[in-house]
A and B are shown apart, each in its own frame.
Chain A
């Protein structure tokens, strides 16, 4: 794992020595990693270890107690509000609960950032929204309200909205949770396709092992017990090389108790 100090030009985001806590309660500490251009970076770990909290720090919703989060070399929290706005505009975020605006149709949800920040006229906006919804398989659902479609469709619509401004960095909080295997697989393909097509970087929180192995180029594993990252690297590398029982148990779906004897008790995949 390269240190942040030797980061090359292709590093789009550096998290350095981050410590996250709520009041006195420590969530995670000593988090250091880089996200490179065109990389799919996965955040892994058990429930409650602070994955979503890390994501919320990265997208500027929470301020780190200690440490820095740098975009293009500039620390986000020491930047001016204008610079922060400019950085955030290059983000696309898919929240865990989709966070679609319930009083707006899918069309209006996806069109909103386009209308706010681009020069596209009504015809172009319509074409763009249709295309973005088409990418996630929701073409034709423009006039539906979020409450009128299924949970999986809401997830995909949230992704379409995150994609609206062709972001350079996409943050996806459990994108495939609640999706059927076919849709989840399609979403993985879509993420890979988007990465190859646009060169965007992805930061993905996921529990879906198949998805992690399919898309993850790099990643970090947060441990809820020791409250610090216990593994770096791609999910596949972790699966093959990590010695840590928690990481092995997580990636092999074993009970933690059996982690010491995983060589003899091999779960069928």
Chain B
């Protein structure tokens, strides 16, 4: 307990003490010494309570005249003692206490809790399981209804009747588009380089080094650019959406919008979903370029490929179908990531911890969703022969 030293101030302290005195039938508890937060009671409350023996209806008199110094420790102890006495059917006679002490004690005691203030007791296991199950099914319902609201909002937008704040939409567009360029670019450049590294080692064995460009181009355009970009967006933009909307929830901003008659989904969710749906494909194309550049840097460095041969093989390997596949994937990923962010943000509770939970859930749901949907795409592309 090294912290003890700092807890005590330098001045000497007199330990609190107590004795029980019996006088002609009445029992008196005599308290003395210093009763402060920093002297400690060293188990007095428990010890005193155990030794008091009174008949029902008798009273315990308190004498605090020997107490030299006290802060709220003394009234706290006396309040606990009064409650204990009450539970035993005794009364506490505080008549001899100094006036100041009597008043604070009275204040703390008389503002007694209403019956409704009883602490909520943990429910039995069976009831908790049932309650949790009902909560989950309610949440599933909420998810479906939010999706429905987004669809309705989208229809409203197409009809030109959606209510949203244009400046906000532009800010979101910039935040998830232009501002994401450096990180998306860096990650995709590195991923392209990593693919080239792994490929180069294998292809060298077969003397098929010039095929490296094909491999990098296909892997980047078909899979990596879309998936890696979506994962970065999920961690960056999806999390930001969730945190922002969850904080608005806590500030009653969402309630304020509702009261103003503003459709929350149109106002908050629609601009964000549209922004990512627009930006994710653009970022995908940018990622393709940087992924291929990463592959090229490794290819020329490790396998002595020339710029012209690398570029030629890259162009030959790719066709419009690959890009259409990638673009449609990134569109879906963008919608998915933004929906996850907005959904968990809107569903958040109203405290600080809820913002963290919403963000975590949004990122996890976003990434898992992206990978799952990518698997579905892979199966479909295979079936279609793309």
B38 touches A131 (CB 8 A): no
B37 touches A197 (CB 8 A): no
* Cα–Cα, bound, A134→B77 (Å): 13
B7 touches A118 (CB 8 A): yes
A residues near B42, Cβ cutoff 8 Å: 121
B318 at the interface (CB under 8 A from A): no
B112 touches A120 (CB 8 A): no
* Cα–Cα, bound, A117→B46 (Å): 22
B75 at the interface (CB under 8 A from A): yes
B306 at the interface (CB under 8 A from A): no
B interface residues, how many (CB within 8 angstroms): 40
B100 at the interface (CB under 8 A from A): yes
Residue of B nearest to A119 (CB): B40
Report which of A143, A146, A193 forms a contact with B107, defined as CB distance below 8 A. Answer: A193
The 8 A CB mask of B225-269 against A (1 = contact, 0 = none) is: 000000000000000000000000000000000000000000000
A interface residues, how many (CB within 8 angstroms): 41
Closest Cβ of chain A: how far from B51's Cβ, in Å?
16
A127-B45, A190-B107 given; A196·B100 CB < 8 A:
yes
Report which of A124, A136, A144 forms a contact with B119, defined as CB distance below 8 A. Answer: A144
A142 touches B119 (CB 8 A): yes
A residues near B352, Cβ cutoff 8 Å: 101-103
Among B100, B114, B117, B349, the most chain A Cβ lie within 10 Å of the Cβ of B117
Closest Cβ of chain B: how far from A114's Cβ, in Å?
7
The 8 A CB mask of A192-231 against B (1 = contact, 0 = none) is: 0110111000000000000000000000000000000000
B residues near A237, Cβ cutoff 8 Å: none
Residue of B nearest to A131 (CB): B76
Binding site for B on A (CB under 8 A): 101-103, 114, 117-121, 123-124, 126-128, 130-132, 134-147, 163, 165-166, 186, 190, 193-194, 196-198
- A101-B352, A138-B113 known; 16 other A-B pairs, CB under 8 Å? A102-B352, A120-B37, A120-B40, A123-B46, A124-B73, A127-B80, A130-B76, A131-B80, A132-B72, A134-B79, A135-B108, A139-B117, A140-B118, A147-B351, A196-B103, A197-B100
Binding site for A on B (CB under 8 A): 4, 7-8, 37-43, 45-46, 71-73, 75-77, 79-80, 100-101, 103-104, 107-109, 111-114, 117-120, 349-353
Pairs of residues from A and B, 6 with the lowest C-beta to C-beta distance, nearest first: A140-B113, A102-B351, A134-B108, A137-B111, A140-B117, A131-B76
Q: Show 24 residue pairs from A and B whose CB-CB distance is below 8 angstroms, ordered by the A residue.
A: A117-B37, A123-B45, A124-B40, A130-B79, A131-B72, A131-B76, A131-B79, A131-B80, A134-B107, A134-B108, A134-B112, A138-B117, A139-B108, A139-B111, A140-B112, A140-B117, A142-B119, A147-B349, A166-B37, A166-B71, A166-B72, A193-B107, A194-B104, A196-B100
